Amino acid sequence: MNRRNFNASLVLSLSAAMLISHSVSAAEGGVNAGQEKCYGIAKAGQNDCAAGAGTSCAGSSKVDYQGNAWKLVPAGTCSHIETPHGTGSLTPLVRP
């Protein structure tokens, strides 16, 4: 491969990596305007993301109301959502 082809390949590879990285972080953030992440309110397998180590994210919570799994809810409603373990939280919860 000549130097010009190598440089072009390198630029394309780096551009693709940056695009994929941006897409992944946008998908992981997943917060749309007017919504917020609410931890501890999802039923098992119904979380939007962040269910802890060893999970694949969305739909991976193992138990109902898992403290480190969140769902998107309308902004301002999270702390008013009641569960058998208390209300939802804007930060991950420690639950057995």
Which residue bears the tokens 């939007």?
A: 48
What per-residue confidence (pLDDT) applies to 18? 55
pTM (2 d.p.): 0.60
What per-residue confidence (pLDDT) applies to 26? 45
What per-residue confidence (pLDDT) applies to 61? 81
Ranges of residues in the chain whose predicted pLDDT is under 70: 1, 5-31, 50-56, 96
What per-residue confidence (pLDDT) applies to 62? 81
How far is the CA of 45 from the CAs of 18, 40, 89, in angstroms?
31, 12, 18
What is the distance between the alpha carbons of residues 33 and 20, in angstroms, rounded to a whole number?
22
Distance of CA 9 to the CA centre of its chain: 32
What per-residue confidence (pLDDT) applies to 57? 74
Q: Which residues pair with 82 in a beta bridge?
A: 87
